[in-house]
Amino acid sequence: MSSETFTTAMFLIAAIISAGVLINAVFPVIYTLSGTITSSSHTVDERLSTDVKIVTTYAGNESSTARIWLKNVGAGRISSADVQKADVFLGGQGDFVRLTRATELDYGTWRYEILEDANNYWDPGETLYIEAKTEKFPEKEDIVYFQFVLPSGLYRSTTFTASD
């Protein structure tokens, strides 16, 4: 009888040690996986809650300047820092360049202003005004291409006619 008790106790100890090893091996993987899922979920939520619409455009051929108004129609706000990191492309259709953000407008640059801004964020319902200037501007009555890309990957583009 003592040999059966000893064997049972050994199996019980082996089972407890095996369970501990299994838990120590699996728990970090589950913890890492939950962090990855949480991070991915946050990114997807951010992308789904962010939406932008180009409201209206104007392009003056003589000044090589375009003016674009965009509306934040999403549920999430966009930080001014994200707007500063955005890419702006402007020029003729098929002949456009990426512009550099600047405080003073010159060829190859763009600047922005968040209209109705009270907190340094582009909140839902607020309008973003972009003024851009390029040497790749098309002739009067030709098609102008504009694209705005946020760091999150959200982009909006449009074509319109140059005037003046």
Q: Which two tokens stand for residue 82?
A: 């994200």
Look at residue 48 in the predicted model and tell me its pLDDT.
Answer: 66
Give 138's pLDDT tier (boundaries 50, 70, 90): confident
| 0.75 exceeded by pTM | no
Instruction: Decide which of 3.40.50, 1.20.1070, 2.60.40, 1.20.1300 is the CATH code for 52-161.
Output: 2.60.40
| Average confidence (pLDDT) over 121-141 | 90
For residues 44 and 36, give the distance between their C-alpha atoms in angstroms, rounded to a whole number: 12
pLDDT tens-digit readout, 32-79: 767 776 766 666 666 667 899 999 999 887 788 999 999 999 988 999
**Residue ranges covered by each domain of the chain:** 1-49, 52-161
Look at residue 33 in the predicted model and tell me its pLDDT.
Answer: 67
Q: Which two tokens stand for residue 132?
A: 């851009």
Q: Within a 10 A sphere around the Cβ of 83, how many other Cβ atoms? A: 21
User: Beta strands of the chain (E only): which ranges?
Assistant: 52-60, 65-72, 78-79, 87-92, 95-101, 109-115, 121-122, 127-133, 143-149, 155-161
Residue 125: pLDDT over 90: yes
For residues 58 and 144, give the distance between their C-alpha atoms in angstroms, rounded to a whole number: 10
Calculate the average pLDDT of the chain. 86
> CB of 101 within 8 A of CB of 149?
no
Look at residue 1 in the predicted model and tell me its pLDDT.
Answer: 54
